[in-house]
Amino acid sequence: MEFVETRGNDSRRPARVSFTQAILDPAASFGGLYAPASLPSLDLNSLIGKGYKEMAAAILNTFDLDLPQELLQAALDRYDRFDDPEDPAPLVSIDGNLAICELYHGPTRAFKDMALQPFGHILSHLAQERRERYLILAATSGDTGPATLESFKERPNVDVVCLYPAGGTSDVQRLQMVTEEGENLKVIGIHGDFDDAQRALKNLLASPSFQAKLKEQGIRLSAANSVNFGRILFQILYHIHSYLQLLHRGLIGAGESIDLVVPSGNFGNALGAYYAKKMGLPIGKIVIASNANNILTELIQKGRYDLRGRSLIKTTSPAMDILRSSNVERVLFDKFGPQRTRELMEQLEREGFYELSPQELQELRQDFEADFVDDGQIKETIKEFVEEHNYLMDPHTATTIGPYRRFVKGVGIAYSTAEWTKFAPTVLEALTGERGVDDRRALERVAQLVKASIPEPIAQLFSKPIRHETVIPKEEIEEEILRFLDSRR
Ligand X SMILES: *Cc1c(COP(=O)(O)O)cnc(C)c1O
**Applying CB under 6 A, which residues contact ligand X?**
110-112, 143, 226, 263-270, 319-320, 396, 417-418
Residue closer to ligand X by CB (options 9, 301) is: 301
Straight-line distance from the first to the last Cα atom of the chain, in angstroms, rounded to the nearest whole number: 36
Q: Please identify, using beta-carbon distances, which residue of 162 and 319 lies nearer to ligand X.
A: 319
Please state, in angstroms and as integers, the Cα–Cα distance from residue 88 to each residue in 71, 91, 221, 262, 276, following that order.
19, 10, 31, 18, 18
The span from the CA of 185 to the CA of 137, in Å, is 10
CA distance 33 to 17: 12
Q: Which is nearer to ligand X, 5 or 102 (CB)?
A: 102
Task: Give the whole-angstrom CA distance, residue 234 versus residue 460.
Answer: 29
Q: Smallest gap, in angstroms, from Cβ of residue 115 to ligand X?
A: 9
Cβ-contact 259, 284 below 8 angstroms:
yes
Our CB check for ligand X shows the closer of 145 and 189 to be 145
- Which lies closer to ligand X via its Cβ, residue 6 or residue 141? 141
CB-nearer residue toward ligand X: 295 or 481: 295
Task: Give the integer Cα–Cα distance in Å for 49 and 352.
Answer: 48
Give the Cβ contact number of residue 208 at 10 Å: 7
Q: How far is the CB of 248 from ligand X (least distance, A)?
A: 26
Beta strands, E only, 157-282:
158-165, 185-190, 219-222, 258-263
Q: Shortest approach of ligand X to residue 409 CB, angstroms? A: 24
Q: Which CB sits closer to ligand X, 9 or 326? A: 326
Q: Which strands sit side by side in the sheet containing 368-372, from one edge to the other?
A: 91-93, 98-102, 412-416, 258-263, 283-290, 368-372
Minimum distance, C-beta of residue 226 to ligand X, in the bound complex (Å): 5
Q: What share of the chain is helix, strand, coil (3-state, %, to 5)?
A: 50, 15, 35
CA distance 392 to 394: 7
For the bound state, the minimum distance from the C-beta of residue 264 to ligand X, rounded and expressed in Å, comes to 4
Tell me if 123 sits within 8 A of 23, measured CB to CB: yes
Distances in whole angstroms, Cα of residue 251 to Cα of each of 48, 93, 150, 248: 14, 10, 36, 8
Tell me the closest approach of the beta carbon of residue 269 to ligand X, in angstroms: 4
Q: Give the C-alpha separation, 450 to 442, whole Å.
A: 12
Cβ closest to ligand X, residue 124 vs residue 264: 264
CB closer to ligand X, 29 vs 421: 421
Q: What is d(CA 200, CA 94) in angstroms, rounded to the nearest whole number?
A: 44
How near is the Cβ of 12 to ligand X at its closest, in Å? 30
Please report which residue ranges of 252-392 form alpha helices under DSSP H.
Answer: 268-278, 295-302, 328-351, 358-365, 375-389
Which of 143, 259 has the CB closer to ligand X?
Answer: 143
Number of Cβ within 10 Å of residue 312's Cβ equals 14
Shortest Cβ distance from residue 417 to ligand X (Å)? 3
User: Shortest Cβ distance from residue 50 to ligand X (Å)?
Assistant: 25
One-character DSSP codes across 291-322: -S--HHHHHHHHSEEE-TT--PPP-S-GGG--
Q: What are the backbone angles phi and psi of residue 246, rounded to the nearest 5°?
A: -60, -40
Whichever of 201 and 393 has its CB closer to ligand X, that residue is 393
Dihedral sign of CA atoms 420, 424, 428, 429 in order: negative
Q: How far is the CB of 313 from ligand X (least distance, A)?
A: 16
Report the residue number, 157 or 228, with the smaller CB distance to ligand X.
228
Task: Write down the least CB distance from residue 127 to ligand X, Å.
Answer: 25
Give the torsion through C-alpha atoms of 305, 272, 202, 171, to 10 deg: 100
Name the minimum Å distance from CB 231 to ligand X.
9
- What is the secondary structure of 451-465 as a DSSP string? T----HHHHGGGGSP
